[in-house]
Structure 1
Amino acid sequence: MEIRQLQYFVEVAKQKSFTRAAQTLHVSQPSISKMIKALEEELGVALLDRAERKMELTDAGELVFDHAKKVLQLLDSLSSSIGEIRNVERGRVKMGMMPTVGSFLLPNVIALFKKHYPGIEIEMKEYSAKLLEIQVEQGSIDVGLTVLPADTDKFAAVPLQAEDLVAIVHREHWLADRQSVNLAELRDEAFILFTEEYAIHDVVKQACLRSGFEPQVAYMSSLWDFVGELVATQLGISLVPRSIVRRLNNSELRTVDISHPVIDWQYALIYRKDRYLSHAARAFIAFAKEHLGL
């Protein structure tokens, strides 16, 4: 059974005439007759009573007419829906983001995006950087807001804004009045690091190793504000993204730049290279790149 057969049959049933149906559909009358005859043969029933001067539907024809109209309406609806998706008028973006980072970068962008694409829903969840990559890889989320580097074999990455890591110390620490410090000068300090599931753990540790020492870890935490509180009680120092310092808002803390090496904290959106990416997700990535790109 072909869609065109149903289209021709419905039009004939509406017009009660092969001639008028042919004029409406802009096809020849013999083509319509051939299509409907083939449909009747396939179904094994007569659909049209051609004996009367005025063409009428048989009982089977009435049944097929009702169902055919529904099928054609569903196809029209499907076509319209696909068109809306293709034109990015509707859809859903499942997005993962690192805690705090998302609240720093995304609120204004999402607000603007919703104005441009009111029919697109954005579903957001928070993950640590390493767990976020797993969620993107498994297809649980479409796009992840993370920090580079990412596994380039698995993910495509769209670089966004970048910032540097800075040291935070207690206001009575020997570094408190310094504007900057060489990372190698911190070899004897007690470090408060983030736990291993967070990307910043590896970034800080690798930066210290490149500077010739392994950091002495006093405490580890998964909470930004708790890290700040530990530093404020003089239990150690920590390295955090500069934007986080403003959020800690603790008068006991001082910020010191890392003069060498500069530790970049590069934000990026990642998605699977080998998986279909919806039109809505593509639109969000392009929008975020426009507003947060380098």
Structure 2
Amino acid sequence: MDIKQLHYFAEVAKHKNFTKASQVLFVSQPSISKMIKSLEDELGVTLLDRSEREVILTDTGQLVYEKTLKILQLLEEIPSSVNELVHVQRGKVKMGILPTISALLFPKIVAGFKKTYPMIEIQMVEYTAKQVEMQIEQGNIDFGVTVLPVNTRLYQPVSLLAEELVVIVSAHHWLAGKTSVSLVELQHEPFILFTKEFVLHDIVWQACSQAGFQPKVAHMTSLWDFCCEMVASQLGVSLIPRSMANRLHHLSVHIVSISNPKIAWELALIFPRDKYLSYASRELIAYILANPPHQAG
């Protein structure tokens, strides 16, 4: 069974006449008759009652005709549907974001995108930076926001926000009156670290090791708010991105720059190098790159 068979059959059924169908299709009557006969043979039924002057649909012919009209209608809709999708009027995107950081940076970007493309559904799911890579690899999300470095053989990273890590201390800490500190000066301080699921844990641990010491871990957490509250309660110091530290006005904490060494923290958007990205995903990525987070409010 092919589309041409169904198309010829539908025209004959519509006009109830082979001659009229031939004129509409610009095909000879014998060719149409042969095509419909092959369809009947394939289905093992009689579709048309040819005994009368006017062609009449049999019971099975009526059923096939109704189904055929639906099929032909769907075929007609394909070009316009594809055109609509290609021009990003609709679609669905599933994006992985980092807890707290991305939530603070991306709402305005998404809101702006939705104004332009209201029919595109965007689902944002929170993961740690390490989980974002795994979720993309498993196909659970289309792309995501994470912290560099990443496996550049598998993922294409695009930098969104580059800044430094800073130390946050209690307002009563001896560092509270300083503007900067060398990392090695913190070797005897209790650290509030993030758990090993966070790239930030690895960055801080590596920086301390290169400075000649291992951080004295007072507590490890996966919660940003809890980490900052513990620092404010004088239970330890922590190293966090400056953009996050700048939002802690409600807590009794003080921000101290790290003079030596500078510890980079880079937020990046990543997507798979060798997997298909939907038109909607590509358009959202392009929009994010044109409106990077540090410019979004």
- C-alpha displacement of 1:251: 4.9
Deviates more, 1:55-64 or 1:137-146: 55-64
Report if the CA contact (8 A) 1:147-1:267 is conserved: yes
| Counterpart check, 1:105 vs 2:110 | no
Residues 139-218 of structure 1 aligned to structure 2 (within 5 Å): 139-218=139-218
Report if the CA contact (8 A) 1:232-1:252 is conserved: yes
Deviates more, 1:231-240 or 1:14-23: 14-23
Residues 1-294 of structure 1 aligned to structure 2 (within 5 Å): 1-77=1-77, 80-292=80-292
Deviates more, 1:167-176 or 1:91-100: 167-176
- C-alpha displacement of 1:240: 0.6
- SS of residue in 2 equivalent to 1:248: coil
Cα distance, 1:31–1:158 mapped onto 2, change above 3 Å: farther
Cα distance, 1:120–1:251 mapped onto 2, change above 3 Å: closer
- SS of residue in 2 equivalent to 1:41: helix
Report if the CA contact (8 A) 2:105-2:293 is conserved: no
Which amino acid counterpart does residue 210 of structure 2 have in structure 1? R
Structure-1 separation of matches of 2:211 and 2:27: 79
- SS of residue in 1 equivalent to 2:158: strand
- SS of residue in 1 equivalent to 2:181: strand
Structure-2 separation of matches of 1:229 and 1:64: 70
Structure-1 separation of matches of 2:236 and 2:60: 84
- C-alpha displacement of 1:173: 2.7
Provide structure 2 residue ranges, at least 5 long, that are not aligned to the other structure. Answer: none
Structure-2 separation of matches of 1:123 and 1:38: 49
- C-alpha displacement of 1:147: 1.0
Normalising by structure 1, we get a TM-score of 0.89
Report if the CA contact (8 A) 1:184-1:211 is conserved: yes
Structure-2 separation of matches of 1:89 and 1:290: 19
- SS of residue in 2 equivalent to 1:163: strand
Structure-2 separation of matches of 1:30 and 1:219: 86
- SS of residue in 2 equivalent to 1:160: strand
Cα distance, 1:26–1:166 mapped onto 2, change above 3 Å: farther
- C-alpha displacement of 1:106: 0.7
CA RMSD of aligned residues (A): 2.3
Cα distance, 1:235–1:59 mapped onto 2, change above 3 Å: closer
Structure-2 separation of matches of 1:29 and 1:183: 89
Cα distance, 1:257–1:63 mapped onto 2, change above 3 Å: same
- C-alpha displacement of 1:28: 4.8
Which amino acid counterpart does residue 67 of structure 1 have in structure 2? K
Aligned length: 294
- SS of residue in 1 equivalent to 2:65: helix
Structure-2 separation of matches of 1:201 and 1:95: 23
Deviates more, 1:32-41 or 1:4-13: 32-41
Deviates more, 1:200-209 or 1:72-81: 72-81
Structure-2 separation of matches of 1:120 and 1:39: 41
Which amino acid counterpart does residue 70 of structure 2 have in structure 1? K
Report if the CA contact (8 A) 2:22-2:29 is conserved: yes
Cα distance, 1:26–1:262 mapped onto 2, change above 3 Å: farther
Structure-2 separation of matches of 1:67 and 1:186: 75
Structure-1 separation of matches of 2:163 and 2:31: 68
Deviates more, 1:4-13 or 1:63-72: 63-72
- SS of residue in 1 equivalent to 2:213: coil
